[in-house]
Amino acid sequence: MVMKELYPDYLKVGDTIGIVAPSRKISFEELEFSVVFFEKKGFKIKLGKNIFAAENQFAGSDSVRAADFQAMLDDDEVKAVLAARGGYGAVRIIDRVDFSRFRKNPKWLCGYSDFTVFHSQSAYYNIPTIHSTMPVNISDTAVEVANAESLLDALTGKLLCYETKPNSLNRCGSAKAKVVGGNLSILYSLMGSQSEISTEGKILFIEDLDEYLYHIDRMMMNLKRAGKLANLAGLIVGDLSDMHDNTVPFGKTAEEIVADCCAEYGFPICFNFPAGHAAVKKSLRLGMEIEMRPTANGGFEVFQK
C-alpha cells in the first residue's frame, strides 16, 4: 500500500525539541552539553519524563520507554524528537507505539544506529526522518559541534552538501532519488516485518559498527536475495567501523564485501560517506530526494535541497 507523502515542518528559532531514550540508558551528565548547545541556538528543550530511568542496560522498562516516546510523538509543542543515544531496545517498543497522530501531524525523528528502527517505520508511513548525530555524542570538540550544526541544518531546511574522499571501489555515475536506510544490522533485523524498507528506485544508505566480516557478507547477501539491491538508483556507504575477522581470515574488507554483492548491478556506488559510528556524523534527510554525482578526483558530491 502506497501512503500519502507528508513532510514535517522545518524548525525555526523558538521551537521545541524533545529528547527521549528509546534504547540504552543515559545520565544527565551525558546530555548536559547538548541541552545547553541547542538552547544557545535559540531552541527550547523538553526531556522525556522518564529519560533517566534505568533497567539493566535499558533506559527503563519497555513500557516506560514506549510511553515516553509516545508522549513526545503526541505533544503538539514538540517539533522534533531526538534519540538521546543508541544501543539496543528500539525494536522492543516499536509495536507498542501508536503512530496515528504522528501520521496526521508528523515531526522530525532524529538519530542513528538503533534508531534505524524508527527511520524504517516512518519510511513505511512515507514520512521523512533525519539520520544524524545524537545528544550523547555532542560535546565541545570541533568535530562534534560540526555534527550538531549539520543536524540543525537538516532540521531547519538548509541545503546539505557533502564531498566524499576518493575510493577505488566507487562506481561512477549520477543518481537522483529518495534516500532510505541506516544501520545495516538493524535493516537486516527488520526484514519480514512491517518496518522492512522499500528500496525500489531509491538510493540506499548503509553503515555499521563492530561486526564480523562474515556477518557483513551474510547481511548483504540477505538484502540481495530479498531483492533490495537489484533495483536501486544508487548506493551510499557510510562508515563500516571496527570490523572483526576470524582466525581464518574472510579475505575481504567490509567495503569489498559490499562492492562484490553489488557487482552485477549498474547503479553508482559511493564509499567514504561521512556518517555512521566514526567521529564525523553528517546528517541526511531520509525519505527525501538526494542527488549523488562523481567528482573529478574519484569521490562523490552528495547534496540534498
Task: Show the domains of the chain with their CATH numbers.
Answer: 16-155 (3.40.50.10740), 160-304 (3.50.30.60)
Give 235's strand partners: 204, 269
Tens of pLDDT, residue by residue over 197-213, are 999 999 999 999 999 99
Residue 6's pLDDT is: 87
Beta-carbon contacts of residue 90 (< 8 Å; ≥ 6 apart): 22, 23, 83, 114, 115, 116, 117, 118
Provide CB contacts within 8 A for 228, sequence distance 6+: 197, 199, 204
Q: Which pLDDT belongs to residue 257?
A: 98
Residue type, 166: P
pLDDT score of 5: 75
Q: How far is CA 25 from CA 51, 87, 194, 239, in A?
A: 8, 9, 26, 24
Positions marked active-site: 113, 207, 277
Residue 3 pLDDT:
62
**Strand (E) positions, 231-286?**
234-241, 269-270, 284-286
Distance CA 293, CA 203 (A): 12
Residues forming a β-bridge with 301: 163, 293
Cβ–Cβ under 8 Å, residues 258 and 237: yes
Quick: pLDDT tens for 172-196. Answer: 999 999 999 999 999 999 999 999 9
Compute CA 12 distance to the chain's CA centroid, rounded to the nearest angstrom.
Answer: 22
Instruction: Pick out the chain residues at pLDDT < 70.
Output: 1-4
